[in-house]
Structure 1
Amino acid sequence: MSPSCRLPPLLLFLPVVFSAVTHIKNHWNGGFEAETCVPVTQELNGWTLRLKFDQDVWWIEIWIGSPNKISNREYTVSSGSHQNPGDQICFNFLGHGAGDISPTATVTIDGQSGGGAPQGGSQAGSGPSNTGGGGTGGKKNYGEALGKSILFYNAQRSGKLPANNPIPWRGDSNTGDCVPGGWHDAGDHVKFGLPLSSTATLLGWSLVQFKDGYEKAGQLDQMYDMIKWVYDYFLLAWNPGKQELCVQVGDGNADHTFWGRPEDMHMARPCKYVNGGTPGADIAGGTAAAMAAGSIGYKDKDAGYANRLLEAAKSLYNFAKGHRGVFTGGAPFYGSSGDSDEMCEAAMWLFKATGDQGYLNDAKGFVDLGTAWGLGWDDKKIACQGLLYEATKEGQYKGAVEAFFNSWFPGGGITYTPCGQAWRDKWGSNRYAGNSAFMALLAAEMGIQPDKYRKWAVEQINYILGDNRHDGGCYSFEIGYGSKYPRNPHHRAASCPDRPAPCGDAQLYAGGSSPQILQGALVGGPDANDNYQDVRTDYVQNEVALDYNAGFHGALSGIVHLEAAGAMPATNNKCPC
């Protein structure tokens, strides 16, 4: 099946005049493409360019060397190449950001006398903080990868988009839904409550635990803006007066017969509900967990909004507790194996939000201490075990967490690819590795074998961001990160040319790269031998989905947190980029 918020305002810009030829080649909401040439005045055995802006620039993409972000206003780009006097260093770069700004930019070559301190108008945007080199060599820029993941969730928005929509090829869609807003599931356009709530819970957890990671990455405001889109949807989906929760918008079977833009889709989009006569504590509990986590994340940002989320989470949890059972009306899509894990998660997040011992007691009754297969939209067992250990420090919960990671680490029974990915399943191997990496970073924060868990987690994310051998190595499975990444995700909207050009089944099978770059999306991933094909029709390896990005996204915030704290582990990936 094809499982398929908002960023700050767009960025406008003027050409950057460095010292010779520089001009804007293309521009769009939130970014631009520029090219320039910098004169070389002395022999250089390796060099570092220094770009300075007088206004905030979120991040840049450049392919002549390894970019390094000093701050939102200063970047360096390094290369080991030799240059002679009279040469020029010419390059293209992409700038990303927001706001009606027109910053001045200067570029210099470090250590070179004279030359290259140009002035002029430039434009760029704001974004992730530097945490290392670019996506194609050396250290990874985890902050940049985090910012791009936020863009992916913005690309998934349903409903009427705000004026600051950062995705130029997306527009208003499905505005007549019974519950407007929210995120499309994957490359399709259904809103499925189980993966949606699971995704939102993991994203909210990352904001609660690793807020400083978002701050260091320059992504805190963007994260708040992005995730509020789904919280707003949950608040509309739950009707406490009617004791009814909308758990699905759209018909999966009908939706999957349509290939095109969500903006052009006019089929019927039926709504499905859980209520007193239709059980669905799995989705209701999961949604309560997401809103309770959101109430903590928003407490310092907007206390009134945080309270709305908390009150909705309390009433929805009480409803779920009184109407146990799983939702079966969405078959054959996202069938749940049980509701105890979601109820446990909901109880624990409400305990964290309120301190009410009753919620903790509930969670102790819901928890399953068995060893989880993985962390995903249908199985939150390991998440509940970790939350209980964090709250109680009791050995039984610590033992369950350690048993999970013992089963995931080398020698524990899980398959490892030749380049070192913990490969759980052909459906979304990147997803499961990313989710477990996030959980490992959370467990480390709880004091469970922090050195070992952090090292393993970072190595898994490094594999995803380029420490692999696909396409000659340095291949990022996150779209838009680095210079080599998937160009043909199984995603309808990204396959469509700019409007008003038509889009239909022909675009599914069209050759060449998709017209739109689905920035930040994490594709399903390789097979057990590190093999991967970038083919749009391959919905096994090239699927993208809300839940695919969730743990990966959280792990990125956790790694930037480690960088901010000076606690990055030494890693030893088998296929370093």
Structure 2
Amino acid sequence: MEKNNRKQKDHVGGSKPPRFVQHGYLFLFFFFTLFITTQSKAFDYADALSKSLLYFEAQRSGRLPYNQRVTWRDHSGLTDGLEQGVDLVGGYYDAGDHVKFGLPMAFTVTMLSWGAIEFWQQIADAGELEHTMEAIKWGTDYFIKAHTGPNVLWAEVGDGDTDHYCWQRPEDMTTSRQAFKIDEKNPGSDLAGETAAAMAAASIVFRNTNPHYSHLLLHHAQQLFEFGDRYRGKYDGSVGVVKSYYASVSGYMDELLWAAMWLYKATDNEEYFEYLISNAHTFGGIGWAITEFTWDVKYAGLQILASKFLMEEKHKKHADILEKYRSKAEYYICSCLNKNNGSNVNQTPSGLLYVRQWNNMQYVSTASFLLTVYSDFLQNKNQHLTCHGGIVGHEEILNFAKSQVDYILGLNPLNMSYLVGYGSKYPNRVHHRGASIVSYRENKGFIGCTQGYDDWYNTQKPNPNILVGALVGGPDLQDNFDDQRNNYMQTEACTYNTAPLVGVFAKLLHTENKKLVHDFDSILVSSI
């Protein structure tokens, strides 16, 4: 009876469209499918975004959570801080070894947070917001532990020299886990400043979803900034073991300005803005024209953020200082675009930005990020950039950033993706202890220091575990790349290489999707 009623409704009530309309729908469906396949993107930014976030799970130290997706990793570093009577379990290994270095870890979290703030909606639309926030929180949870007193911050766990004698999985670690700190007598304004910046930026990320946690992060950030500002000094002068690995060449003034910037963005407290203005000259904020942005040198990022204040009415009285910040920001952008009179960033024959031979991709990913952010800024304000080499629009800037990202993903002479696990060809002998040795989940048999070198490091076989989402050091000045485990200048990956790309991948995915819809609409209209 029910079936008959339904049939009658279809026939009498007219809920089915007429046959010619059905054919129209089918035509549209097939036309759209054909359009998508013929217009398919050269690169799958959605896949790159998802994979980039997996990398941070591979770099986790501590007790891994139940929802850990990188299953070849297991718990490690579970006694970190025990010798010093403090809980320092957690955080990230920065690269292919097992030292937890505070400065690059903090910069990684700052960049992940900045990406989430700038491209929140794009990351959410891609379905990766939760994983992005998890990656940030894994770092900030550790910073909360490491900040054991208002003027105490644990700077490092492990020792680079002894760690490098061993080639072991993190789960088997037998190397020293001694921890080192900064305090009133042993200052480290650069480390305190960057950690404050990371926590302030993260507090913005968690403001709506976890207000209590956001407030806690802000409290720590404010204390750390005060500590770094009051007891001034370079952290590598207090923690000597870090000098061979993450020496603070640029000093601490950029980090203090950087921290003040993020605290102002997080609190809207004018005292932090006044700090940016009053110290702009003496701290080099408007003096240094820089052509790189790294875990050590924050000026370019600071200058780009300061440029945005020029558009706000309440900051008009400081327009002269803000103009100087902006002029230095634009010097950086123009240098990447090869449009400065004189100092430009070198490029390989195929157009990859090239700063130096050791882990060059870190400079490429941070440049791609800053270019993307500045392109958005110019577009939103309907402005353009004036370089010595001519006037530049926001589209040209974004297209150049895209060219760098596409090179990373495989548009290069070797047709190789330097983002591990993406595409069909990528480095498979990444300089990384955990990835290059059989998974602890598969084989719990202990692997010692030298055994790791003998059995795993020196083999020509591909790594048994794929370090998905890792951005390796990349090619040399001539676009050459040698995929060898001992070629650590090119095959080692770092957390701060991948971190800036998270936001950029989301932005490029959004832009490509918009363009696809626009192109389809245009073709559809012209065909009617």
Normalising by the residue count of structure 2, what TM-score does the alignment of the two structures yield? 0.79
Question: Which of 250, 254, 257 is the equivalent residue of 1:344?
Answer: 257
Summarize deviations over 1:24-66 as a string: whole Å, max 9, x none: xxxxxxxxxxxxxxxxxxxxxxxxxx9xxxxxxxxxxxxxxxx
Q: For 1:90-169, what aligned pairs fall within 5 Å after superposition?
A: 133=40, 138-169=41-72
Summarize deviations over 1:317-344 as a string: whole Å, max 9, x none: 1111101111121222211021111111
Which residue identity lines up with residue 259 of structure 1 in the other structure?
W
Deviation for aligned residue 1:156 = 0.3
Which residue identity lines up with residue 49 of structure 2 in the other structure?
L
CA distance in 2, matches of 1:233, 1:403: 36
Match of 2:131 in 1: 222
Residue 79 to residue 208, structure 1, CA distance change in 2 (3 Å): closer
CA distance in 2, matches of 1:76, 1:361: 57
CA distance in 2, matches of 1:489, 1:421: 21
Question: Which of 455, 461, 465 is the equivalent residue of 2:409?
Answer: 465
Residue 454 to residue 369, structure 1, CA distance change in 2 (3 Å): farther
CA distance in 2, matches of 1:563, 1:236: 41
Question: Which of 354, 362, 368 is the equivalent residue of 1:431?
Answer: 362
Which residue identity lines up with residue 394 of structure 2 in the other structure?
P
Deviation for aligned residue 1:502 = 5.5
Count of equivalent residues: 439
- Contact 2:473–2:492, Cα closer than 8 Å, also in 1: yes
CA distance in 2, matches of 1:197, 1:363: 21
Residue 368 to residue 272, structure 1, CA distance change in 2 (3 Å): farther
Match of 2:419 in 1: 478
Match of 2:162 in 1: 254
Match of 2:174 in 1: 266
Q: For 1:491-502, what aligned pairs fall within 5 Å after superposition?
A: 491-498=432-439, 499-500=443-444
- Contact 1:490–1:537, Cα closer than 8 Å, also in 2: yes
Match of 2:301 in 1: 383
Residue 244 to residue 564, structure 1, CA distance change in 2 (3 Å): farther
CA distance in 1, matches of 2:517, 2:270: 36
* Higher-strand-fraction structure: 1
Summarize deviations over 1:388-419 as a string: whole Å, max 9, x none: 11123432222111111222223543222122
Residue 460 to residue 501, structure 1, CA distance change in 2 (3 Å): same
Which residue identity lines up with residue 355 of structure 1 in the other structure?
D
SS of 1:207 mapped into structure 2: helix
Deviation for aligned residue 1:550 = 2.2
SS of 1:173 mapped into structure 2: coil
Question: Which of 245, 248, 251 is the equivalent residue of 1:333?
Answer: 245
Deviation for aligned residue 1:237 = 0.7
Choose 1 or 2 for highest CA Rg: 2
Question: Which of 536, 547, 550 is the equivalent residue of 2:485?
Answer: 536
Summarize deviations over 1:117-140 as a string: whole Å, max 9, x none: xxxxxxxxxxxxxxx95xxxx521
CA distance in 1, matches of 2:422, 2:488: 21
CA distance in 2, matches of 1:286, 1:564: 35
Which residue identity lines up with residue 231 of structure 1 in the other structure?
T
Match of 1:180 in 2: 89
- Contact 1:158–1:174, Cα closer than 8 Å, also in 2: yes
Match of 2:334 in 1: 406
Q: For 1:237-386, what aligned pairs fall within 5 Å after superposition?
A: 237-241=146-150, 243-328=151-236, 329=239, 330-337=242-249, 338-364=251-277, 365=279, 366=283, 367-386=285-304
Normalising by the residue count of structure 1, what TM-score does the alignment of the two structures yield? 0.73
- Contact 2:254–2:299, Cα closer than 8 Å, also in 1: yes
Summarize deviations over 1:464-496 as a string: whole Å, max 9, x none: 1111111xx2x2100011111111100000001
Deviates more, 1:498-507 or 1:440-449: 498-507
SS of 1:440 mapped into structure 2: helix
- Contact 1:189–1:255, Cα closer than 8 Å, also in 2: yes
Residue 368 to residue 198, structure 1, CA distance change in 2 (3 Å): farther
- Contact 2:123–2:503, Cα closer than 8 Å, also in 1: no
- Contact 1:274–1:280, Cα closer than 8 Å, also in 2: yes
Please list every run of 5 or more consecutive structure 2 residues that lacks an aligned counterpart in the other structure. Answer: 1-28, 82-87, 312-321, 379-384, 386-392, 520-528
CA distance in 1, matches of 2:445, 2:464: 11
- Contact 1:382–1:401, Cα closer than 8 Å, also in 2: yes
SS of 2:197 mapped into structure 1: helix
CA distance in 2, matches of 1:568, 1:417: 34
Summarize deviations over 1:134-188 as a string: whole Å, max 9, x none: xxxx521112111111110110000011111111110000111011100001000
CA distance in 1, matches of 2:259, 2:172: 37
CA distance in 1, matches of 2:476, 2:436: 24
Which residue identity lines up with residue 556 of structure 1 in the other structure?
F
Q: For 1:66-77, what aligned pairs fall within 5 Å after superposition?
A: none
Residue 311 to residue 568, structure 1, CA distance change in 2 (3 Å): farther
- Contact 2:112–2:499, Cα closer than 8 Å, also in 1: yes
Match of 2:457 in 1: 508
Deviation for aligned residue 1:77 = 13
* Higher-helix-fraction structure: 2
Summarize deviations over 1:434-457 as a string: whole Å, max 9, x none: 110100111122215422211111
- Contact 1:369–1:385, Cα closer than 8 Å, also in 2: no
Higher RCO (C-alpha 8 Å, min separation 6): 2
CA distance in 1, matches of 2:494, 2:226: 30
SS of 1:239 mapped into structure 2: coil
CA distance in 1, matches of 2:516, 2:120: 16
Q: Kindly report the root-mean-square deviation, in angstroms, between the aligned alpha carbons of the 2 structures.
A: 2.4
Question: Which of 198, 205, 212 is the equivalent residue of 2:121?
Answer: 212
SS of 2:155 mapped into structure 1: strand
- For the pair 1:452 / 2:396, whether they are aligned, the reply is yes
Which residue identity lines up with residue 275 of structure 1 in the other structure?
D
Deviation for aligned residue 1:311 = 0.9
Match of 1:420 in 2: 351
Which residue identity lines up with residue 239 of structure 1 in the other structure?
T
